């Protein structure tokens, strides 16, 4: 932004942050004919944003034409692997044939810089205004109602009936204005990630890929992130591989290794090293992720303001499902619709914006968060079993089960069982654990 035009009172809504949640809100409102401005602190949308990443696209595909979007590869295969720090790997691989057919289960590997910039362009084409390199520093309130924002630009005050707070995991404005409190560190994860570039043919050979097909690989256990609640990931893009670790800041705070060292250790695991050797690191990145689930969601609706995306704590980690960006888009969409409805009636108070919260509660976003809300707490309670004892026991059990020597197989099977039983605390312990984790697959 070279000049500073006076935009005060020009807009129906101000969107703080042109990430996926903010842009979804802006696009929804712009399509409804509202005048919307997106304020992005980075040099371009996406330039401050990091995720794993797989983006699930049903809502985006409804909002706009996804065919020209900068997508990397669709998810043709998902793998889940338990890694022990002794070097064992026990994996499950899932590749339904239907995933190779359009629309590929709406599951795409993307890189955020390209994708977010494209998505923000869709909002601009629909009539929204985008202002970059502008940081919102505070909210303006009158009689308790949010009536605009302060920015770091000269004469940078902007007023509008509604402010959409899509600031991401570090929601300084919402917190500063008392709309939410900062999450506790046991509800937040830290992620460190590398993007590594390979010759495309080499990458496709290495991961058995063809065309646009891609692999989404997830790793758990002390071979992935050491003595911590968390996991690691590897996603194949067109010419690059995204590889990273995600684990609780509570564990990181007490850990002997920093996140970059945990990432190094993950890369050296015998299940991972052959997949990431060679190539060239083209980017290193890191971010915090709010994983507190339904209990740490703030109030989403305020007089003159709504909170969307990561700022609203909308991240799902059920051990099996790792979602956030789709929920960000969904929340932005519902917020945009609720705002359009409220402004139609000439209102922007919390009661009029309440339908955002209702829509979100009826959507899969809050339903899933509620359904899997137990998981992160239980995973933390059962940390030693889940992330240390189980991956080792599975490694030892499978080694025993398949052992070739002069003993009959039934003896090996019996020994293999005892590895699992010992780790689980016997039949009784196993029944208790099975009960605790019974909802993981349902």
Partner 1 sequence: MSKAAPSVPDTPQPEDASIEDRLYTVKYKDSGESHLGIEVPGICAETCTTYECTNVCPADVWRAEEGGVPTIAYENCLECGSCRFACPHGNVEWEYPTTGNGVSYKHG
SS3 of residue 115 by DSSP: helix
Strand partners, 131: 39
Q: Which is nearer to partner 1, 183 or 357 (CB)?
A: 183
**Strands 107-109 and 145-151, sheet pairing:** unpaired
Q: Which helix (H) or strand (E) holds 77?
A: strand 73-83
> Which range, of 245-253, 321-329, 350-358, 369-377, touches partner 1 by CB under 8 A?
245-253
The residues in 274-313 that bind partner 1, with binding defined as CB under 8 A, are: 274, 276-279, 281-288
Q: What is the dihedral of CA 109, 112, 114, 117, to 10 degrees?
A: 130
Q: Which is nearer to partner 1, 35 or 283 (CB)?
A: 283
Residues contacting residue 41 through CB under 8 Å, at least 6 positions apart: 17, 48, 132, 133, 134, 135, 136
| Nearest distance in Å: CB 24, partner 1 | 17
Residue 15 touches partner 1, criterion: CB under 8 A: no
SS3 of residue 404 by DSSP: coil
Residue 200 touches partner 1, criterion: CB under 8 A: no
Residue 351 touches partner 1, criterion: CB under 8 A: no
The residues in 156-185 that bind partner 1, with binding defined as CB under 8 A, are: 169-170, 172, 182-185
CA dist., res. 357 & res. 305, Å (int): 12
Q: Which is nearer to partner 1, 105 or 171 (CB)?
A: 171
Q: Would you state the structure tokens that stand for residue 423, as one six-digit string? A: 């780790």
- Contact between 36 and 123 under an 8 Å Cβ cutoff? The reply is yes
Q: What is the C-alpha R_g of the chain? A: 23
State the DSSP code for 32. T
Residue 391 touches partner 1, criterion: CB under 8 A: no
Q: Which is nearer to partner 1, 53 or 373 (CB)?
A: 53
- Interface with partner 1 (CB under 8 A), residue from 214, 221, 223, 319: 223
CA dist., res. 26 & res. 162, Å (int): 12
CA dist., res. 430 & res. 420, Å (int): 9
- For partner 1, what does the binding mask look like between residues 398 and 437, x meaning CB under 8 A? ----------------------------------------
CA dist., res. 297 & res. 181, Å (int): 10
Residue 90 touches partner 1, criterion: CB under 8 A: no
- Interface with partner 1 (CB under 8 A), residue from 33, 178, 211, 270: 270
State the DSSP code for 100. G
- For partner 1, what does the binding mask look like between residues 247 and 266, x meaning CB under 8 A? --x--xxxxxxxxx-x-xx-
Residue 21 touches partner 1, criterion: CB under 8 A: no
| Nearest distance in Å: CB 346, partner 1 | 34
> Which range, of 4-12, 207-215, 223-231, 299-307, touches partner 1 by CB under 8 A?
223-231
| Nearest distance in Å: CB 82, partner 1 | 14
| Nearest distance in Å: CB 111, partner 1 | 5
- Interface with partner 1 (CB under 8 A), residue from 226, 304, 332, 373: 226
CA dist., res. 33 & res. 47, Å (int): 28
**DSSP alpha helix (H) spans, 126-233:** 172-176, 200-207, 222-225
- Interface with partner 1 (CB under 8 A), residue from 28, 49, 174, 236: 49
Q: Which is nearer to partner 1, 105 or 134 (CB)?
A: 134
């Amino acid at each position: 932004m070279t000049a500073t035009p006076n935009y005060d009172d020009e807009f129906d809504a101000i969107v703080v942050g042109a990430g996926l949640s903010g842009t979804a809100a802006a696009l929804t409102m712009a399509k409804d004919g509202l005048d919307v401005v997106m304020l992005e602190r980075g040099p371009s949308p996406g330039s401050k944003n990091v995720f794993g990443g797989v983006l699930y696209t049903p809502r985006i595909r409804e909002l706009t034409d996804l065919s020209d979007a900068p997508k990397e590869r669709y998810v043709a295969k998902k793998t889940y692997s338990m890694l022990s720090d002794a070097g064992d790997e026990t994996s499950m691989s899932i590749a339904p044939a239907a995933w190779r057919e359009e629309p590929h289960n709406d599951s795409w590997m993307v890189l955020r810089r390209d994708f977010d910039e494209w998505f923000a362009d869709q909002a601009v084409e629909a009539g929204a205004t985008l202002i970059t390199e502008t940081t919102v520093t505070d909210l303006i309130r009158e009689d308790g109602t949010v009536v605009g924002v302060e920015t770091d630009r000269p004469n940078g005050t902007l007023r509008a009936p509604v402010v959409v707070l899509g600031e991401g995991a570090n929601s300084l404005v919402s917190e500063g204005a008392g709309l939410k409190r900062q999450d506790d560190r046991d509800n937040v994860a830290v992620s460190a990630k590398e993007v590594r570039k390979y010759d495309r043919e080499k990458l496709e050979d290495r991961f058995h890929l063809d065309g646009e097909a891609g692999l989404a690989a997830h790793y758990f256990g002390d071979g992935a992130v050491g003595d911590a609640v968390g996991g690691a990931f590897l996603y194949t893009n067109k010419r690059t591989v995204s590889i990273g670790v995600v684990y609780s800041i509570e564990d990181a705070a007490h850990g002997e290794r920093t996140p970059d060292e945990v990432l190094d250790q993950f890369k050296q695991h015998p299940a991972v090293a052959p997949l990431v050797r060679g190539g060239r690191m083209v980017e290193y990145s890191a971010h915090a992720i709010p994983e507190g689930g339904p209990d740490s969601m703030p109030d989403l609706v305020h007089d003159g303001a709504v909170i969307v995306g990561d700022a609203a704590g909308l991240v799902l980690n059920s051990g099996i499902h790792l979602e956030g960006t789709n929920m960000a888009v969904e929340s932005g969409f519902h917020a945009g619709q609720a705002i359009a409805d409220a402004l139609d009636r000439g209102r922007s108070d919390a009661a009029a914006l309440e339908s955002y919260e209702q829509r979100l509660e009826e959507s899969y976003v809050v339903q899933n968060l509620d359904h899997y809300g137990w998981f992160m707490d239980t995973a933390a309670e059962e940390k030693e079993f889940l992330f240390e004892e189980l991956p080792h026991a599975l490694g030892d059990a499978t080694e025993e089960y398949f052992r070739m020597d002069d003993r009959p197989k039934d003896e090996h099977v019996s020994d293999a069982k005892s590895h699992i039983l010992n780790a689980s605390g016997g039949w009784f312990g196993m029944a208790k654990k099975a009960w605790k984790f019974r909802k993981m697959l349902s």
